[in-house]
Structure 1
Amino acid sequence: MASPVYPPKRRRVVNAVMLTLTGLCTLLVVSVLFFILGYLAWHGARSLNWDFFTKLPAPVGQEGGGMANALVGSLKMLLIASAIGIPIGMLAGIYLAEFGRGWLSGLVRYMTDLLNGVPSIVMGIFVYTLVVLPMRHFSTLAGGIALGIMMIPIALRSTEEFLRGVPNSMRESGLALGASKAQTVFTVIVPAAITGIVTGIMLNLARVAGETAPLLFTAFGNQFWSKGVNEPTASLPVMIFNYAISPYEDWHRQAWAAGFVLLMAVLAINIVARVILQRGRRVGR
């Protein structure tokens, strides 16, 4: 059945109405985003000072202090998470994109999507049961493991998608030169998709950097420096939570400052990831 042909005037009216609606929706979304960013910047940026980055939290009831231990603790847990989640996710993604066939690959993809949808607090309880209880104490290691498990599905799926975007002609050329399937994948295909893979990893880090619930069950918190990886440690998300629900006005200001720092870090990671991806696309062309 042929589709109806509308008069030119009606098409122009419909086009103008839809453009107006889409423009208003875009403006609404952008306005909400800028309102949140502006509100957080207004309350957080003016509360920042050098002590925030260099000093430990002040005792309860005293003003001042900083969150140097939380900054270091978050960095340590992200490093542990990267060491766990990135290699496992990348290798699994390479397998699914280049070698995986049949029902097993479909099952892995399905389980990966399920894992990606698991609430973060459930992940925290899981790691609490398997790591914290046997060790009999909270630790930086447990927090890093929780974040690392959360990174696996995103690293896997992003690696798989970027590898599938590599033209088949590159695979065929590698095999035609006498290279094995594995040699072609690791010397031709992966380098061709490395820009996208790195971008996905950076966005993955930005996503888990703000997680709070898993760290409440694993790293817990610490008002002092945490030595090594076997002690409880402070982290920015948990410190924001604790300070925000406290009755002290100075802690509220520091919570705003910590939220602003965390937001700026996530925003910087996203911007760098986008720049890397765009540069890689230009080089590819």
Structure 2
Amino acid sequence: MAAVHTRRRVVNVVALTLSGCATLLGLVFLAWILWVTLKNGLGAIDWKLFSKITAYADQGGLSNAIVGSLVMDAIALLICAPVGVLAGAFLAEYAHRSKLGATIRFLNDILLSAPSIVLGLFVYVIVVLPMSNLTHGAVSFSGLAGSIALALIGLPVIVRTTDEMLQLVPGTLREAALSLGIPQWKMTVQVLMRAATSGIVTGVLLALARLAGETAPLLFTAFGNNFMAWHPLDKMESLPVAIYQYTNDPNPALHAIAWAGALLITLFVLTLSLLTRLLFSRKKVPHE
């Protein structure tokens, strides 16, 4: 017994040490990335970055790219968030152990791991080309097509997290609600989703974080626009595409603007995550 106890303690210490080293290594790389982004992007952030458009090259800014990213990300979330939450609820509560649920989860995992450029080409074929036929041959790149591509990227993330978060809700809540005669759909919406709200919102934020940095699908759908565009049916610039274009240019001034755009994306996702955590932490504080 003493030898077994000693072996378990040694294995436990080794496992804790390795996991701690892995965590520390990940934090070091994360801090390194944040530091490099801050160092290179902070100096390029000024008023003209938010007031001028990319058409003025190294003397311009990213206002049209910021607007385009916000519009396309908002439309994409409006498409994928409700569908993803409802699909995740269906998998967790109605198709938990069925063959249909297993098939949907398998297909969702495939969609989750699919390269974003493939989804961009898919939307190019089913949205951009048909719209081009309506305009007599002119290729109809648009912000709407970009939003649909982004929605396909964010959808499997939300489905997966909603499914897992609802499965983590204790079964006693389901039994208590059903014992009161509440219909299952009402139990899912009013009891289970409320209990898993923080996890579901976290999944939506994870999807938004992924959408904010996608470049490849937007090259085949929204394409880009050096001028300000508000209408979803027009070509739209976005921060990831502007960063991609600027980093391929030999002009150092454009490289600085690209770093500033990368910093804006990082700060946007970080601020949104912190505000959400603060909101839910306040809700958990008991009222006296």
TM-score (norm 1): 0.89
Residue in 2 that maps onto 1:108: 104
Does 1:189 pair with 2:178? no
The equivalent position to 1:271 in structure 2, one of 270, 274, 287, is 274
RMSD value, Cα: 2.4
Q: Residues 278 and 129 from structure 1, CA distance in 2 versus in 1: closer, same or farther, beyond 3 angstroms?
A: same
Q: Residues 116 and 23 from structure 1, CA distance in 2 versus in 1: closer, same or farther, beyond 3 angstroms?
A: closer
How far did 1:5 drift? Answer: 3.4
Residue in 1 that maps onto 2:4: 5
How far did 1:97 drift? Answer: 0.8
The equivalent position to 1:204 in structure 2, one of 196, 204, 207, is 207
Secondary structure in structure 1 of the residue aligned to 2:220: helix
Give me the whole-angstrom Cα distance separating, in 1, the residues matched to 2:14 and 2:167.
Answer: 39
Q: Residues 171 and 25 from structure 1, CA distance in 2 versus in 1: closer, same or farther, beyond 3 angstroms?
A: closer
Does 1:54 pair with 2:51? yes
The 5-angstrom pairing of residues 111-150 of structure 1 reads 111-136=107-132, 137-150=140-153
Give me the whole-angstrom Cα distance separating, in 1, the residues matched to 2:130 and 2:12.
Answer: 64
How far did 1:175 drift? Answer: 1.6
Give me the whole-angstrom Cα distance separating, in 1, the residues matched to 2:251 and 2:91.
Answer: 52
Q: Residues 79 and 20 from structure 1, CA distance in 2 versus in 1: closer, same or farther, beyond 3 angstroms?
A: closer
Give me the whole-angstrom Cα distance separating, in 1, the residues matched to 2:9 and 2:93.
Answer: 47
Gaps of 5+ in 1: none
User: Over residues 192-240 of structure 1, what are the superposed CA-to-partner deviations in whole Å (9 max), with x where a residue is unaligned?
Assistant: 2122211211121111110000101100100001131111100000000
TM-score (norm 2): 0.88
Give me the whole-angstrom Cα distance separating, in 2, the residues matched to 1:21 and 1:103.
Answer: 39
Q: Residues 163 and 28 from structure 1, CA distance in 2 versus in 1: closer, same or farther, beyond 3 angstroms?
A: closer
Does 1:76 pair with 2:75? no
Tell me whether 32-41 or 109-118 shows the greater mean CA deviation.
32-41
Q: Residues 129 and 161 from structure 1, CA distance in 2 versus in 1: closer, same or farther, beyond 3 angstroms?
A: same
Give me the whole-angstrom Cα distance separating, in 1, the residues matched to 2:17 and 2:174.
Answer: 46
Secondary structure in structure 1 of the residue aligned to 2:196: helix
Give me the whole-angstrom Cα distance separating, in 2, the residues matched to 1:84 and 1:47.
Answer: 34
Contact 2:79 2:151 in 1 (8 A): yes
Q: Residue type of the partner of 1:56?
A: I
Give me the whole-angstrom Cα distance separating, in 2, the residues matched to 1:164 and 1:219.
Answer: 37
Gaps of 5+ in 2: 133-139
Aligned residues: 278
How far did 1:181 drift? Answer: 1.4
How far did 1:132 drift? Answer: 0.7
Give me the whole-angstrom Cα distance separating, in 2, the residues matched to 1:33 and 1:23.
Answer: 15
User: Over residues 42-87 of structure 1, what are the superposed CA-to-partner deviations in whole Å (9 max), with x where a residue is unaligned?
Assistant: 1100111011012112435xx4211101001000101111111111
Percent of aligned positions that are identical: 44
Q: Residues 17 and 246 from structure 1, CA distance in 2 versus in 1: closer, same or farther, beyond 3 angstroms?
A: same
The equivalent position to 2:24 in structure 1, one of 8, 13, 27, is 27
